[in-house]
Amino acid sequence: MIKRFINKLLGKPAASVRPSFGKRVEVPASVHKINPKLVDERAVNVVLTLKKAGFEAYIVGGAVRDLILGLKPKDFDVATTATPEQVKSLFRRAFIIGRRFRIVHVVYGRGREHEVIEVSTFRAYLDASAAEQVNGNEKTSRRALEGVQHAVDASGRVLRDNVWGPQEEDAARRDFTLNAMYYDPEREIVVDYHKGMQDAQKRTIRMIGDAAGRYREDPVRIIRAVRFAAKLNKLDFQLDKATASPLQECLPLLADVPQSRLFDEMLKLLQTGHAVATIEQLRALGLHKGIYPLLSLAVERADDPFVRSSLQDTDRRVGEGKPVAPSFLLASLLWQDVREAWARKTAKGKPPFVGLQEAIDEVFDARIGDVSGRGKLAADMREIWMMQPRFEKRTGNSPFSLIAQLRFRAGFDFLRLRAANGEIDEALAEWWQAFSTAPDYERDD
């Protein structure tokens, strides 16, 4: 409210950030040079099925960006003129999900190997002022919003976003020009409304429309700007000046974003293979504080050798296509606090295990707070930490029961990280390495 009032005084429109819809350009294969071998067969199948049924359909978003840059996309999204119900009816295993943003998951394969293609219907561009007309009243209760397909709260945050529209509007509501291109795998053309292709060639990450307004509309875009700057840094991409310059002043807008969403975005920054580059970007852009407390801590501690090697390890593992767990990285980040609290407890005469338990409780209270739904993550972190003193016991049954523990691997990796950084004797880690890889009869020895 106050923000809006000030904006009025300054003569700024409340939230009219409607970008131009641009001009439709069809980029041929000779220019976009997408390697069809990098295009997921199942995504192609989804597109062809939709087209055969008479709808328009394209691969869209990050996958097109990555394909144009010669990178292998990690997942594929499809955008179409078909409504969620129409999409669902065309596939054997398809599920409509989401309320705020209804999309369809088309599922292929089962178990670990399964793959989900996310299909969304082209959405209309409704800026906050248009949405207010739909909404009518700023204080509208959630219940009153049930029937409304697009709605924003008092600060302009989108609560509901299910108004279908033409492709040009769908493109305009995306964030960066690089993320707003559509690929038709049948005709092998890229549809581009916002000069995304040119920006790809110029190595520029540019927000569609007025950057500050778009950050206001959805502050998470601030974090996304950092993420893409970090990810594309190795390809020499730079944030466009007008995209980068309002970042710092827009930071306070993140206060309106739910903690759980910020937490998820933080994990994406740290766990998608560009953790070290992300820290560098955050520093360079003056965003080292103000996104999420644990992230500020990561920036602060990134030069600590132990945290540094954990970040590098995570990047390396992602690069090799290995799984990474957020518990490991966060356990490394907070290990210093746990150790300090633990030392205080034992100095006061607490037995080691009890002292460690209590130290962990303290650190959770101080650093993690209440991010609901994080039960498993916290349990995993606790397990990694609690295993550490158990590695000291190398006789009797103890090693056998430790090695049988579900998260032994994570605990052991953590031990190795400690050894590599001189916190404990390398010999201990080597002993466990030998023990955990030895055949049963040798283990008994």
| Using rule CB under 6 A, residue 423 touches ligand ATP | no
Active-site residues, by number, are 75, 77, 175
Of 62 and 196, CB closest to Mg ion: 62
How far out from the chain centre does Cα 120 lie?
Answer: 19
Question: Whole-number minimum distance, CB 40 to ligand ATP, in Å?
Answer: 13
Closest CA to 405 of 423, 425, 433, 380: 380
CA atoms within 13 A on the CB side of 390: 20
Of 159 and 220, CB closest to ligand ATP: 220
- Please give the torsion angle defined by the CA atoms of residues 152, 128, 83 and 223, in that order, rounded to the nearest 10 degrees: -80
| Using rule CB under 6 A, residue 18 touches ligand ATP | no
Please name the helix (run of DSSP H) or strand (run of DSSP E) that holds residue 107, with its range, or none: strand 103-108
Subset of residues 70 to 89 that bind ligand ATP, contact rule: CB under 6 A: 74, 77
Choosing from 150, 160, 174, 216, the residue that interacts with ligand ATP (CB under 6 A) is: 174
Of 181 and 307, CB closest to ligand ATP: 181
| Using rule CB under 6 A, residue 62 touches ligand ATP | yes
In one-letter notation, the amino acid at residue 63 is: A
d(CA 424, CA 441): 28
- Nearest residue to Mg ion by CB is 62
Long-range contacts of 130-139 (CB under 8 A, 24+ apart): 131/158
Task: Specify the stretch interacting with ligand ATP by CB under 6 A; choose among 214-222, 376-384, 396-404, 416-424.
Answer: 214-222
Cβ 124 vs Cβ 169: under 8 Å:
yes
Q: Which does 174 bind (CB under 5 to 8 A by kind): Mg ion, ligand ATP, none?
A: ligand ATP
The residues, any chain, with a CB within 8 Å of residue 30's CB and separated by 6 or more, are: none
d(CA 302, CA 292): 15
Give residues in contact with Mg ion (CB under 5 A): 62
Of 62 and 355, CB closest to Mg ion: 62
Choosing from 220, 368, 378, 386, the residue that interacts with ligand ATP (CB under 6 A) is: 220
Distance between first and last Cα of the chain: 72
| Using rule CB under 6 A, residue 196 touches ligand ATP | no
d(CA 431, CA 178): 50
Of 19 and 411, CB closest to ligand ATP: 19
| Using rule CB under 6 A, residue 253 touches ligand ATP | no
Residues near ligand ATP, by CB under 6 A: 61-62, 74, 77, 174-175, 179-180, 218, 220-221, 224
